[in-house]
Structure 1
Amino acid sequence: MSGAEKLLREPWDGLGLSDERALARQRAGATFGIWIFLASEVLFFGAIFLAYAVMRLEHAAAFAAAGRETNIVYGTLNSAILLTSALCAAVASKSADHRDLRRTTLGCLAATAALGLAFLAVKGLEYGEDLGKHLVPGDSFPLHEPGAQLFFALYWFATGLHGIHLSIGIGLLARLLWKGWRDPEFLPGNPQVEVGLLYWGLVDIVWIFLFPLLYLPGRSG
């Protein structure tokens, strides 16, 4: 069985085309599908960003005060981690189609997943600090500016949702890594690689927007 034949899935394996042409169509279909999914995710996160913008216009001083309470060191460190993971993902995407670069692909996939785990570890430390400072909307919330609790409600919701997406991305990369390590023919030309790495790109881009919205308010002066 050829490498292309092993990668074909229904309905692409029943088109009556050569394995290579069928795989090319499968890849085009998978890429189109993931872009549709990513567009829906952009709309979803866009609604969160819109809600943030409206609330910040209404409570500018409170959002500035609340933003100063976030830990910019943790936020900046996590930004560096995800940007580095994006570089590793890009190298993995470019090298995946070359059989002689299999080790490079596997190494970059492993590095990307490891950096994702590092992001979650740093975020866990930050969440622990936030809980210790009682920065959770409720009766014991330490800030008294009207609207400050709205900021942290968005903070917990948006970063938690991003963390869920990141965890899914780590799972996708771990699967690619495991199958690629077991089968030398799994990665080259496989649409699953492009789909998984495009999803990872969404995780990176969302954080690029979240970082300035959550960590920079109130720190310009």
Structure 2
Amino acid sequence: MSSTVASLDMPSEGEYQRSRQHITGWGFYVYLLSDGILFSALFAAFAVLRTATDGGPDGHMLFSAHNAFIETACLLTSSFTCGIAMLACDRRNKFVALAGFLATAVLGIVFLTLEVHEFADFIARGHGPDRSAFLSSFFTLVGTHGLHVTCGLLWLGILLVQFLGRGFTPAMLRRFLCFSLFWHVLDVVWIGVFTFVYLVGGNL
């Protein structure tokens, strides 16, 4: 009798894994909200300081529409490929999942390469973060987003190595879910950067 009651109280394996996924997802949402607060503060700082050029160049003189549009296209496309990969994970399609995540990584690397090239060009022309408050706020906001993308790519690389060895385990699916949430939030933040920094701040 006692063993029967105990078995009724114990959740099944499927219920346990679903509970773990919900708890993990909720906890990661809390982290993403804290990231949202960070970027909100950086956007506010840029909005206040974008005219504080100290006689130096402003966004209209510095920003390239061509470079900004390519960066945006790369990151938004990577969000699509990440979504495809997650759908493939739901269907346990290893080939499509791997291809989707690899495409996401390649597009993320292209995005970072363009961003680093832009930063290096500004600094080489004497327009580094120490030139004015405007450039300090620009490098801080865009650089923080780039640092997040870099961490995301390192995280994805580790996940793919684990995935090749473990396949579609419940733990891997939870990790891919968290990565997907993180990557999509970075895309949303970049839309804000592209709009308020490059389009509005640079008058592109």
TM above 0.5, one fold?
Answer: yes
Amino acid at match of 1:23: Q
In the alignment, what sits opposite 1:47?
41
**Is structure 2 residue 78 aligned with structure 1 residue 85?**
yes
Equivalent of residue 75 in structure 1, options 53, 58, 68? 68
Contact 2:89–2:168 under 8 Å retained in 1: no
CA contact (8 A) 1:86 1:204 kept: yes
Q: Secondary structure at the match of 2:67?
A: helix
Counterpart Cα distance in 2 of 1:25 and 1:218: 47
Instruction: Check conservation: 1:70, 1:214, Cα contact below 8 A.
Output: no
Q: Which residue identity lines up with residue 14 of structure 2 in the other structure?
A: E
Counterpart selection for 2:15 from 21, 24, 42: 21
Distance 2:66 2:54 in 1: 21
Alignment check: 8 A CA contact 2:17 2:170 kept: no
Residue 104, structure 1, aligned to residue 77, structure 2 = no
Greater alpha carbon shift after TM alignment, 127-136 vs 15-24: 15-24
1:206 is aligned to 2:189: yes
Query: Corresponding residue for 1:215?
Result: 198
2:28 is the alignment partner of 1:34: yes
> In structure 2, the residue corresponding to 1:96 is in which secondary structure?
helix
1:62 Cα deviation after fit:
7.9
Name structure 1 gaps, 5 residues minimum: 1-14, 142-148
1:192 to 165, 171, 175: 175
The answer for unaligned runs of 5 or more in structure 2 is 1-8
The residue number in structure 1 matching 2:126 is: 134
Give, in whole Å, the separation in 2 of the partners of 1:169 and 1:218: 27
Contact kept, 8 Å, 1:96 with 1:188, in 2: the verdict is: no
Q: Normalising to structure 1: TM-score of the pair?
A: 0.79
Q: Is the 8 A contact 2:128 2:135 kept in 1?
A: yes
SS in 2 for 1:38: helix
* Residue of structure 2 aligned with 1:168, choices 151, 155, 171: 151
Aligned length: 194
For the structure 1 residues 218 and 206, does the alpha-carbon distance in structure 2 shift closer, same or farther, using more than 3 Å as the test? closer
Q: Secondary structure at the match of 1:17?
A: coil
Cα distance change on mapping 1:203 and 1:40 into 2, 3 Å: same
Runs of 4+ in 1 over 6 A off after TM superposition: 60-63
Q: What is the CA distance between 1:111 and its match in structure 2? A: 0.8
Q: CA deviation at 1:214?
A: 2.1
The answer for the alignment partner of 1:11 in structure 2 is none
Partners of 1:155 and 1:29 in 2: CA distance: 36
Q: Superposition RMSD on alpha carbons, in Å?
A: 2.4
CA 1:218 to 1:82, structure 2 compared with 1: closer, same or farther past 3 Å?
closer
Which has the larger displacement, 127-136 or 19-28?
127-136
For residues 178 and 21 of structure 1, the distance between their equivalents in structure 2, rounded to whole angstroms, comes to: 28
